[in-house]
Amino acid sequence: MLRWPSSKYQLTYMFRSGVQNPNEADMRSACSQAFQRWASVSQFTFQEAPTGSRADILIGFYRGDHGDGDAFDGPLGKVLARAFYPQDGRFHMMQMRIGASRILKSEDQTLKSLQILEEVHKGQTIAGLNKVKKYLNKFGFYANPNDSNLTDDFDDHLESALKTSSVPDDQDFRSAFAQAFQSWEGASQFKFKEASADEKANIVIWFYSGDHGDGLPFDGPGRVLAHSFFPQDGRSHYDADESWSTNPDMNHMDLESVALHELGHVLGLAHSQDPNAVMHSGIAAGTIKRDLTQDDIEGIQALYPN
Ligand SMILES: [Ca+2]
Ligand SMILES: [Zn+2]
Ligand SMILES: [Zn+2]
């Protein structure tokens, strides 16, 4: 679901070289022809940005490690090139290296604290508030440079942090995610478990309404349902303004189906062309897609071979 914003169809590009390409003129015309092909089948237009300006797309030739955390593997290697997904300067890797185990964060304890906070007003001091701040701080939601010791004061920063974040208080929703995780466990070597409150989690699931600080604001009911970041980011965000359900009719979105799709992105899968696949780009209201298809299974196994 990562795409360039709908207002942005005129993209500029620029070449940047860590290693000078031997034949720059050829490279330029090959790239410009490739852009023209895409322009002819989409609404996009592409224009080379003048030197010194900012471009939407940066094309560079590099050798080995080149500062983005994912080195190229030299001649005869498997990696020819790598592109990053849209948009907004926030680019995400598509490939990840497998680690030992992945942990799903439990929001239980903080959820309780957040509920208590509904009764509290700005300006009050309440014991235990520092724990909530610490928790929000860990995920980058609470940033107040004047409160580096994380006091128990209810301040403006905390108010705005709480406004943009919400976690559904519903056992059904939690089990929808648990089921989705189980489906991926069944098709891969991954194991998922909820992290305890003071553990750092690899995957963080959150429901937001509108702008929530990552440059990808949600758009109210309909259209964008969720977005997730590619490895090794772990953030999986769901539009709180959708009518989520665990037993959907034609007016509701099936949370488990969307969660299964989003967690595929969290693991590193891109969209599939197969309309039946869970990793296909769209899902209609009322549709249930809770089972990984052969295409999804082949996708995850190709990305993480045994
Ligand atoms: Ca939406
Ligand atoms: Zn998607
Ligand atoms: Zn987000």
Nearest to 220 by CA among 242, 195, 250, 236: 242
Please identify which residue in the block is written with the tokens 């809770």.
Answer: 290
Q: What is the mean pLDDT of residues 132-149?
A: 65
Q: What is the pLDDT of residue 226?
A: 95
Please check if 261 is assigned to a binding site: yes
Distance CA 227, CA 232 (A): 15
Task: Give Cβ neighbours of residue 146 (< 8 Å, ≥ 6 apart).
Answer: none
Instruction: List the single range of 40-49, 114-123, 152-161, 249-258 with lowest mean pLDDT.
Output: 114-123
> Which range among 123-137, 139-153, 194-208 has the greatest average pLDDT?
194-208
Ligand 3 geometric centre to CA of 237 (Å): 5
In which band, very low, low, confident or very high, does the pLDDT at 38 lie, cut at 50, 70 and 90?
confident
Average pLDDT over the chain, rounded to an integer:
73
Cα→Cα distances 202→122, 152, 190, 227, Å: 32, 28, 12, 16
In which band, very low, low, confident or very high, does the pLDDT at 118 lie, cut at 50, 70 and 90?
very low
In which band, very low, low, confident or very high, does the pLDDT at 123 lie, cut at 50, 70 and 90?
low
How many helical (H) and strand (E) elements, i.e. helices and strands, does the chain have?
7, 10
* Closest ligand to residue 264's CA: 2
Q: What is the pLDDT of residue 135?
A: 61
Distance CA 52, CA 205 (A): 39
Percent of residues, the chain, with pLDDT higher than 90 = 28
- 48 catalytic per annotation: no
Contact 183, 291 (CB under 8 A): yes
Q: DSSP assignment, residue 69?
A: S
Q: Which residue has the higher pLDDT, 211 or 194?
A: 211
Domains with residue ranges and CATH for the chain: 1-91 (3.40.390.10), 108-164 (no CATH), 167-303 (3.40.390.10)
